[in-house]
Amino acid sequence: MKRVHNFSAGPATLPLSVLEKAQNELTNYQGRGTSIIEVSHRSPEYTQINEEATTRLKEITGAGDDWEVLFLQGGASSQFMMTAHNFLNTKRTANYIDTGAWSAKAIKEAKLFGNVHTSFSGKEENYTRLPESSELSFADDAIYTHITSNNTIFGTQFQSEPENGGAPLVCDASSDFLSRPIDLDRYGLIYAGAQKNLGPAGVTVVMVRKSFMEKQRPEAIPTILNYNTHIAKLFNTPPVFSVYMVNYVLEWIQEKGGISHFAEFNEKKADLLYSEIDRDDFYSGTVAKESRSRMNVTFRLESEELEKQFLSEAAEHDLVALKGHRSVGGIRASIYNACEMESVKALTGFMKEFRNVNG
């Protein structure tokens, strides 16, 4: 069986061992004569999966009893609205650091519910860098400060948590969740769509701190959009198959050595790729060096024609899904946790060869 080197930004490549495990038990889960997607979400089988995934997430992140873990639907895009809906109203303000297309979408939703103080916007510079602390401004009594930890489209990433102006961070971590350690104490809420670094599409992981929930707005919130509904109990049918897959990916993360393993591994992969880009000016990175992402590596070639040729020859070498997002163009290699070193080496080998022939 042949698997390609898959650099898709999302849905993205998953660990082969996890896919095979799911394949093996798809028609007959643990000898029960049914698959996991054919049983009740209230069954002991699914209850165990949900509990295991929750425990694993807490173990991996080091989250204590003050954190709740939720497996919700609607993608990270729903969290743009849900975070704002739960914590803002017309008398309240949140800080938003605008570092890319996803941040901008989060801001648009937040404005439907409350006041947004834009702490910084990289829009005029086409989101090619992240702010220095001296460039950030904050509202006096903001409820939270929203950040996008990794900007999937542009290829920038906060190297560590930015200043938060005294308000807990609410973080869209969709494209770098569990890729490196974070300082949990600085956060009130973290959300991540699974399909980048965590599993298949269909589930969004939300981690929320109990003390942050105390700041929920007093006005009514539709039941299914209220975080407390989901904290209290399994309210409705969860995306069973996606949570089941996420649970196996979390198990795989633990077996490999947890976040510290992946932080080192991801840094090695990114360093290899960026050093190939920086070798001379045949390839050029699209963002400021100090803002570079270890998850989505974006670069350009001299002309769009040459980029087209690069992509089609890369595909002939089984290097796929390297086309940059349509708003940026160029090349984007997404190298999440499940991307193997072997794939990055195949890519840099091809990049050398392509430079030799066309440089």
Ligand X SMILES: *Cc1c(COP(=O)(O)O)cnc(C)c1O
Q: Between residues 246 and 351, which has the closer beta carbon with respect to ligand X? A: 246
Give the span between the Cα atoms of 77 and 80, in whole angstroms.
5
Contacting range for ligand X; rule: CB under 6 A; set: 53-61, 71-79, 230-238, 299-307: 71-79
Which residue among 67, 102, 269, 323 is the active-site one? 102
How many other C-beta atoms lie within 10 A of the C-beta of residue 239? 22
The question of whether 252 is a catalytic residue gets the answer no
| Number of residues this chain uses to bind ligand X (CB under 6 A) | 12
Which residues, at least 6 apart from 60, have a Cβ–Cβ distance to it below 8 Å? 178, 250, 253, 254, 258, 259
**Is residue 75 at the binding interface for ligand X, with CB under 6 A as the rule?**
yes
Q: What is the dihedral of CA 59, 64, 70, 71, to 10 degrees?
A: -10
**Shortest spacing between CB 50 and ligand X, in angstroms:** 20
Contacting range for ligand X; rule: CB under 6 A; set: 167-175, 219-227, 261-269, 280-288: 167-175
The question of whether 141 is a catalytic residue gets the answer no
Contact present, 69 and 206 (Cβ < 8 Å)? yes
**Shortest spacing between CB 220 and ligand X, in angstroms:** 25
Please choose, from the candidates 195, 177, 173, 336, the residue with its C-alpha nearest in 3D space to the C-alpha of residue 265. Answer: 336
Which residue lies nearest ligand X, judged by its C-beta? 75
Give the span between the Cα atoms of 140 and 339, in whole angstroms.
42
Using alpha carbons, list the distances in angstroms from residue 229 to 232, 241, 296: 5, 22, 35
Q: Between residues 43 and 73, which has the closer beta carbon with respect to ligand X? A: 73
Which residue among 67, 98, 176, 196 is the active-site one? 196
**Shortest spacing between CB 345 and ligand X, in angstroms:** 25
Give the span between the Cα atoms of 266 and 272, in whole angstroms.
10
Q: Between residues 82 and 351, which has the closer beta carbon with respect to ligand X? A: 82
Q: Between residues 246 and 301, which has the closer beta carbon with respect to ligand X? A: 246
The question of whether 196 is a catalytic residue gets the answer yes
Q: Between residues 10 and 114, which has the closer beta carbon with respect to ligand X? A: 10
Contact present, 21 and 14 (Cβ < 8 Å)? no
Q: Between residues 7 and 102, which has the closer beta carbon with respect to ligand X? A: 102
The pair of three-digit structure tokens given for residue 150, joined into one six-digit string? 């990794």
Contact present, 108 and 114 (Cβ < 8 Å)? no
User: Which residue in 102, 113, 248, 274 binds ligand X (CB under 6 A)?
Assistant: 102
Please choose, from the candidates 201, 200, 159, 188, the residue with its C-alpha nearest in 3D space to the C-alpha of residue 176. Answer: 159
Which residue among 98, 172, 176, 323 is the active-site one? 172
**Shortest spacing between CB 156 and ligand X, in angstroms:** 11
**Shortest spacing between CB 244 and ligand X, in angstroms:** 18
Give the span between the Cα atoms of 29 and 93, in whole angstroms.
48
| β-sheet bridge partners, residue 150 | 157
Q: Between residues 17 and 77, which has the closer beta carbon with respect to ligand X? A: 77
User: Which residue in 148, 156, 247, 348 binds ligand X (CB under 6 A)?
Assistant: 148
**Is residue 175 at the binding interface for ligand X, with CB under 6 A as the rule?**
yes
**Is residue 152 at the binding interface for ligand X, with CB under 6 A as the rule?**
yes
User: Which residue in 77, 115, 128, 226 binds ligand X (CB under 6 A)?
Assistant: 77
Give the span between the Cα atoms of 330 and 286, in whole angstroms.
9
User: Which residue in 5, 92, 146, 196 binds ligand X (CB under 6 A)?
Assistant: 196
Q: Which of residues 9-38 bind ligand X (CB under 6 A)?
A: 10
**Is residue 172 at the binding interface for ligand X, with CB under 6 A as the rule?**
yes
**Is residue 247 at the binding interface for ligand X, with CB under 6 A as the rule?**
no
**Shortest spacing between CB 152 and ligand X, in angstroms:** 3
- The CA angle 97-321-53, to the nearest 5 degrees, is 65
Contact present, 359 and 310 (Cβ < 8 Å)? no
SS3 at position 355? helix
**Is residue 76 at the binding interface for ligand X, with CB under 6 A as the rule?**
yes
Q: Which residues bind ligand X (CB under 6 A)?
A: 10, 75-77, 102, 148, 152, 172, 174-175, 193, 196
The catalytic residues are 102, 172, 196
